[in-house]
Amino acid sequence: MSDNNNSGIDLFSPVKLGNLTFSNRIMMAPLTRNRAGAGNVLQDMNVEYYRQRATAGLIISEASQISPQGVGYPLTPGIHTAEQVAGWRKVINAVHEKGGHIFIQLWHVGRISHPSLQPNGDVPVSCSAIKPEGDAITYEGPQPFVEPRALEIDEIKQIVDHYRIAAENAQDAGFDGIEIHAANGYLIDQFLRDGSNQRTDEYGGSLENRYRFLNEIVQAVTKVWEPSRVGVRISPENAFNSISDSDPQTTFNYVAEKLSGYGLAYLHVVEGDMLTGALNVDYRKIKDLFGGHYMANLNYTLESAQQAIASGNADSVAFGKLYIANPDLVERFKQGAELNTPDMDTFYGGDEHGYTDYPTLETASA
């Protein structure tokens, strides 16, 4: 169970999840960097990138597609071919050699794709045939999203099975666990939120029905992994990728309460809207309904993270942009050292520049 207040615990306190013990509560958030190689296979610079950040309590990998249909961006890694598994194995070995832990984030983008990224130029899929606003990121540059095709029920079952197979592949690669990406407007989130899910069958309408897809995925992957090696990420009020819900508090109270019965490793929550900064949901309520380890995320600083841990509003905190620019973020936080500034121009795509060449305290003083 999660503590109501974490007296005597701070970001640097170890934490035990199942039979894994993490050395601190400074987690590395999943960060899409678009630097995989041919076949969406990771390469040597990716191994170095993760190795540099292995002092995080837990690394959650960049989102990794469970199937060719799950692809939504150029040069993002997958976990559905033998070559992809082999690429990840090198990363995992490097992290483990440094004493770190790493979960893989399993991903299907749903409608946030483009025919040019899909097998055979197919139309992307979703729960309902509702086109998102904005542009897809393709190899030819930004292109307007297209209207997705609504999945048939047998296809939904097939995608659930793709999550199971991806979970098995992650185990084969040597990951310490998996995170189900149910946030940020991608396929599972499209099912959860009523702005994108207008189905009239057993996967739409009521909260129970909109939650069904996520529930079936959790059931499938926890047959492969112990529940204590499985996390779920949600983003109750994030409008990223043209997603919305008429009552996010009620929707995600329900999701948190239902997930509480599985004994999962954690619930990873994007608190607020990445686009506007709006923060209208009672996240403590979601934490309490989940009842297990609650990982907070979005725009935390050292000070606000320490406060969240001390007050019991979070059990750990995941950092994103700060981990892009500060591979030794744990040590910098410990020393109260100055932080490197993230270079947004090098976030997505490119080479080692802005990826593996940020200075550490050790290299800066050499």
Active site residues: 186
DSSP 78: B
Q: Centre a 10 Å sphere on the Cβ of residue 286 and count the other Cβ atoms it contains.
A: 22
Return contacts of 143-149, CB within 8 angstroms, 24+ apart: 143/114, 143/116, 145/111, 145/112, 145/114, 145/242, 146/114, 146/115, 147/123, 148/110, 148/111, 148/123, 148/124, 149/123, 149/124, 149/125
Residue whose pair of structure tokens reads 């190795």 in the numeric block: 51
Instruction: Yes or no: say if 92 and 47 are a contact pair by the CB < 8 Å rule.
Output: no
Q: Among residues 329, 49, 72, 310, which one has the least CA distance to residue 189?
A: 72
337-343 CB contacts, 8 Å cutoff, 24+ apart: 337/361
Q: Are strands 141-144 and 316-319 parallel, antiparallel or unpaired?
A: unpaired
Size of the chain, expressed as the number of residues it contains: 366
